[in-house]
Amino acid sequence: MKRSSEEWQKLLSEDVYYVCREKGTEAPFTGALLHNKETGEYCCACCQAALFHSQSKFESGCGWPAFSEPANKQAVRYETDHSHGMHRIEVLCNQCDAHLGHVFQDGPAPTGQRYCINSAAMQFRGEK
């Protein structure tokens, strides 16, 4: 899903645009989905693609929603990120290239991964 910056700005709120299109980060412990415990799926705020299932969400204490794995291997893609003087692995929506957050290798078994994802980058779709 390719759109120009101008098109995205018209479609998204200022916060969502900043996080998803400008690779921003919301302040820790402020995201609307951080403490969500409902059953369902977390979808991309830009294109509504399914990204993560509630079953993979866990309390990491990092300040952002954390997941142990994506909804499926094709849901996200990865890029090396050297911003802010750090080496990290950026997580992006595979469908629309929205910046979601980063993945770290300090998560729970069995994956050992912690997908640290901005609430602003997602919409929650509860089970009916």
Q: Could you report the per-residue pLDDT of 56-78, keeping only the tens digit for each?
A: 999 999 999 999 999 999 999 99
Task: Tell me yes or no: is domain 5-126 CATH 1.10.10.350.
Answer: no
Structure token pair of residue 106 = 């300090």
- Catalytic annotation, pick one of 20, 43, 93, 116: 116
Domain boundaries defined on the chain? 5-126
Q: Classify 21 in phi/psi space as left (phi over 0), alpha (psi -120 to 50) or beta.
A: alpha
- pTM of structure: 0.94
**Is 116 among the residues known to form the active site?**
yes
Spatial separation of the C-alpha atoms in residues 53 and 50, rounded to whole Å? 8
Examine the pLDDT at 99 and tell me if it is beyond 80: yes
Q: Reduce the DSSP state of residue 20 to 3 states and report it.
A: helix
What is the pLDDT confidence band of residue 85, given thresholds at 50, 70 and 90? Answer: confident
Examine the pLDDT at 126 and tell me if it is beyond 90: yes
